[in-house]
Structure 1
């Protein structure tokens, strides 16, 4: 297991965050959000991530907390000021310090790199299959997106140096993974949450899109239904989303970034406060 490395020093962090234009361009596209479930299930396919979530989170009570927590961190790291990024990085690393068990640690740079790799790979997959490929330079996007893992403690020298090496890393890692029972348990809680039945229509779409975008082998190992009818429905849905993206002016597609950062920060603070309350209430 690689040794944990500290978050970059403030001056180094500010220097790294000064170069986020391509990262922000793609991250601000709502269409990329369609791959959120794909990224989450790819993360859980790593047994270390699956065990950490299963053993250290209340996913049964708050099934989407892991997903929104990752997205909030990504939002702030992408659009926030260096001070905001340093603040959330310190908070997340503090949480990760308590996430440890047999064969895994929340501050393991290898796991941090894998989590960020699934986000990068999912964004590029949507970009290449549903958007205009010429809108964003994938090589530059990858180079800038590495900062997300870096601020959590995975140094650049431990990450693939370029897009070709990243693709090779993804292929090699995916080939070595096998969806475990813990991963399937967490995935069921996220895709079929008992406490969110009122959101049934939205969750049905979420499940369909997630299954459609997942690599075929992982979809099968998770046991996600994939009939000819579901395949046709997913194709129509994704084509419609792509068509809507093409005809909608860019300024209408992108919500105000400062507002998103404030909302994400508020959710993070609320989550941490609730976590402290649950910890104090837990029997010693």
Structure 2
């Protein structure tokens, strides 16, 4: 079920929704603000997250453990006052936003409408692996879909959006280095705003008037129609190809990361 629902392209429409929900947690927002380079390399960071999810969902156990070990190693360096990249609570929340967004997109736009409770339950049960392989044990995650939904309701009601979250969200929604993609970014912003839970939309102060609602309805309606009339084999790329491409990008990203670290150390040594 994880592979069946996760392979649908409409899930990608929820990327911005999930990210802004993640940033609403002050620990996540501060960690990203102090350790991430979203502002300088927004697409690279986005693809890095998507590649990890693709390999976790569709890769072999060996591929999953290999990338999980690398990500855990990166997270070890992500720590500061009040947060840690290896905090199970933060890992739980980050994965919860991905699960919630995927289910929400399928319920709103999916080919068969709302997934049945058995399907949604199975999807949730399997999707917990993303947080598990990063270090959040299953016993620290909601045990079933009902518990998960209660957890989401509590988090959405209680989390406040702080200045760190707004700063990173602005870099994601209005990236300085991607101005050539202005039309696509406008669509991304309106879709992200439309899909966000209303409390978060208000806490971020995102514009949401009649014009925005009409634009969102047009984009999401078109996406839903395209999803429903396109046969599955044409909608979904081959899973093996996705994993190969994701693995290639991950290895390239890690090489570039190591090169930047070496360059930084050399520069500091020169000073």
| Superposition TM-score, scaled by structure 1 size | 0.90
Is 1:234 matched with 2:213? Answer: no
**Root-mean-square deviation (CA), in Å?**
1.2
1:171 match: 153
2:227 match: 245
Contact 1:64 1:190 in 2 (8 A): no
1:274 match: 256
Distance in 1 (alpha carbons) for counterparts of 2:163 and 2:92: 23
- Quote the offset at 1:45 in angstroms: 0.7
Contact 1:40 1:67 in 2 (8 A): no
The partner residue of 1:129 within 108, 129, 153 is 108
Is 1:41 matched with 2:20? Answer: yes
Distance in 1 (alpha carbons) for counterparts of 2:257 and 2:174: 24
Is 1:138 matched with 2:138? Answer: no
SS at match of 1:151: helix
| Superposition TM-score, scaled by structure 2 size | 0.94
Is 1:263 matched with 2:263? Answer: no
Is 1:103 matched with 2:103? Answer: no
Distance in 1 (alpha carbons) for counterparts of 2:261 and 2:35: 12
- After superposition, the C-alpha distances for 1:117-154 in whole angstroms (9 at most, x for unaligned) are 00000000011111123656101100111111111111
Distance in 1 (alpha carbons) for counterparts of 2:146 and 2:166: 31
For 1:1-284, list aligned pairs within 5 A.
22-131=1-110, 132-133=112-113, 137-282=119-264, 283=268
- Quote the offset at 1:172 in angstroms: 0.8
Distance in 2 (alpha carbons) for counterparts of 1:249 and 1:58: 38
Distance in 2 (alpha carbons) for counterparts of 1:133 and 1:109: 33
The number of aligned residues is 263
Alignment gaps of 5+ in structure 2 = none
SS at match of 2:3: helix
Contact 2:55 2:243 in 1 (8 A): yes
Distance in 1 (alpha carbons) for counterparts of 2:71 and 2:168: 20
- Quote the offset at 1:89 in angstroms: 0.3
Distance in 2 (alpha carbons) for counterparts of 1:279 and 1:182: 25
Distance in 1 (alpha carbons) for counterparts of 2:43 and 2:150: 30
SS at match of 1:133: coil
1:7 match: none
1:10 match: none
Distance in 2 (alpha carbons) for counterparts of 1:68 and 1:224: 24
- After superposition, the C-alpha distances for 1:93-118 in whole angstroms (9 at most, x for unaligned) are 00000000001000111111111000
- After superposition, the C-alpha distances for 1:193-214 in whole angstroms (9 at most, x for unaligned) are 1111111111111111000000
